[in-house]
Amino acid sequence: MVNKARSDYFDVPLLTWGTVTDETISGLIKLAARENAPNPRYLAAISDIGELILCDKDGSKIYGPVGPFTGHGSPDELSVNTSGLVLIRSGTSLALINADGTVRWNKTGVDAITNLKAAKIGSNYVCTVIGTGAKATSGVQWRSLTDGSIVQDVYGLANDPSTYYAWGAIAVSQTGDRAAIVYNTGSSGGYCYSYLEHHHRTSGRLWSLALMTQSITTVILSKVAVDKDGGYTIVASKYGAEGTSSGTCFCMVYDSTGLLLGTPWSNATLSYFGVCMAPDGKQAGTYRDTTLDRIVLVPYSSSTTTLAAKGKGIDITDDDLYYTVGCEDGKLYIYRVDGYAMGNTPYGGASTPIATVRNYT
């Protein structure tokens, strides 16, 4: 049995599948990413031991596998921007990888970023989330692509974030000027709160809202995705680590002002979940254990289509037909905008994260 990082294509007119790149890697793909921009180009994937591969939108390999980079043997977050720069976060270590696979900068060891909780890259900035436990010194910190130095320090959060409960997540706009973050407060009387906030590089904290009160005594796992403007936001959260079954969970969709558009699911018992957003913000998707949901956001609505395939990986293409790609254990599925199942193919292996783009020829 050999682990592969694979780029597969689905030919829309012919309804056929094929493989372009099939690279043997160490470890299983743990994270996959595309840039949050119109007509995205880059597909990045990193294995659970830190080997990175970058593919173009025609599936061809740009570089890889490279790594693991120092301090990134167990990556936690992966993102790529419109220039093909890849950002890897592993705990408090943060590395920016050039478009040729070389390291531009790597803050690890003694240079690791204190209290770093989450990080994503935009075309102009790296957005990091700093959580000190005090609201005044926590929030989004914008950093330079050139050397990782701080361009704009935190504006502060609306509430004291927990230093114990797992930090949620960050999703950033195309440029990296605007970010959506999820964090949890400390326990108060057996309850803690999850908050969703939007922060802007020059405007500061735009808004903050309480997502849910949870009677939680362990980690809260959150995931968030935004459109290219950092506006439309889909957020999901659950009690317990990835793979741990829990009945305390929710998934909600907001517009750029924090208006709740809909709740695709909540309080189901599940172990795995994920969210994605089309760059134009008109459609979003989620998976949870055995279900793929496609959510129509625009205009100001949220209608959910439950698709047949199982979860553990989802993405939506950036075009009028919003092809939704999902996977179950061992099969990839493609759905058209109307929910029609275009086809599926076995890929071998268990659940996998995926990232999807369209290649116009």
Partner 1 sequence: MSEDRGSDYPQVSYIRKSPFFRGVKQTPNPETPPPPTEAMANMVVHGARTYDPLPARRIVTVHEAPLTYPMTYASRRTVGHGARPDYDRGSWTKIMIIHSAVV
Site string for partner 1, 294-313 (x = CB under 8 A): -------------------x
CA distance 164 to 185: 9
CA distance 254 to 119: 21
Taking CB under 8 A as the binding criterion, the range among 4-12, 164-172, 250-258, 259-267 that sits at the site for partner 1 is 4-12
Number of chain residues interacting with partner 1 (CB under 8 A): 52
Nearer to partner 1, 3 or 137 (CB): 3
- SS3 of 292-309: the string is EEEEECCCCCCEEEEECC
251 binds partner 1 (CB under 8 A): no
CA distance 314 to 152: 33
Task: Compute the least distance from the CB of residue 277 to partner 1, in Å.
Answer: 17
Residue 22 Cα to chain centre, angstroms: 23
For the chain, how big is the Rg over CA atoms in Å? 19
Residue 274 Cα to chain centre, angstroms: 8
Find the binder of partner 1 among 10, 142, 250, 273 (CB under 8 A). Answer: 10
Taking CB under 8 A as the binding criterion, the range among 88-96, 112-120, 237-245, 350-358 that sits at the site for partner 1 is 350-358
Nearer to partner 1, 48 or 160 (CB): 48
Is residue 145 helix, strand or coil?
A: coil
63, 100 in Cβ contact below 8 A? yes
22 binds partner 1 (CB under 8 A): yes
CA distance 191 to 162: 12
Task: Compute the least distance from the CB of residue 137 to partner 1, in Å.
Answer: 37
Give the pairing of strands 233-239 and 150-152: unpaired
Task: Compute the least distance from the CB of residue 33 to partner 1, in Å.
Answer: 9
339 binds partner 1 (CB under 8 A): no
Task: Compute the least distance from the CB of residue 190 to partner 1, in Å.
Answer: 39
Nearer to partner 1, 24 or 203 (CB): 24
Burial status of residue 235 (CB atoms within 10 A of its CB: 0-12, 13-18, 19 or more): buried
Give, as one character, the DSSP assignment of residue 236: E
Find the binder of partner 1 among 110, 257, 320, 338 (CB under 8 A). Answer: 320
143 binds partner 1 (CB under 8 A): no
Nearer to partner 1, 72 or 178 (CB): 72
Beta strands in 132-219 (DSSP E): 139-144, 150-152, 169-172, 178-184, 192-200, 204-214
246, 214 in Cβ contact below 8 A? no
From 168, 111, 164, select the one nearest 139 (Cα to Cα): 168
Task: Compute the least distance from the CB of residue 287 to partner 1, in Å.
Answer: 14
Residues 28-47 touching partner 1, rule: CB under 8 A, are: 28-29, 32, 43-45, 47
Tokens for 139, please give them.
């929030």
Find the binder of partner 1 among 7, 141, 175, 214 (CB under 8 A). Answer: 7
325 binds partner 1 (CB under 8 A): yes
Taking CB under 8 A as the binding criterion, the range among 141-149, 188-196, 252-260, 315-323 that sits at the site for partner 1 is 315-323
Q: Write the DSSP assignment of 38-66 as a string of letters.
A: SS---EEEEETT--EEEE-TTS-EEEEEE
Find the binder of partner 1 among 90, 108, 233, 356 (CB under 8 A). Answer: 356
Task: Compute the least distance from the CB of residue 138 to partner 1, in Å.
Answer: 33
Nearer to partner 1, 59 or 156 (CB): 59
Contacts of 84 (CB under 8 A, 6+ apart): 41, 42, 54, 62, 99
Find the binder of partner 1 among 9, 63, 187, 229 (CB under 8 A). Answer: 9
81 binds partner 1 (CB under 8 A): no
What are the residues binding partner 1 (CB under 8 A)? 1-13, 20, 22, 28-29, 32, 43-45, 47, 53, 55, 57-59, 313, 315, 317, 319-321, 323, 325, 327, 332, 334, 347-350, 352-361
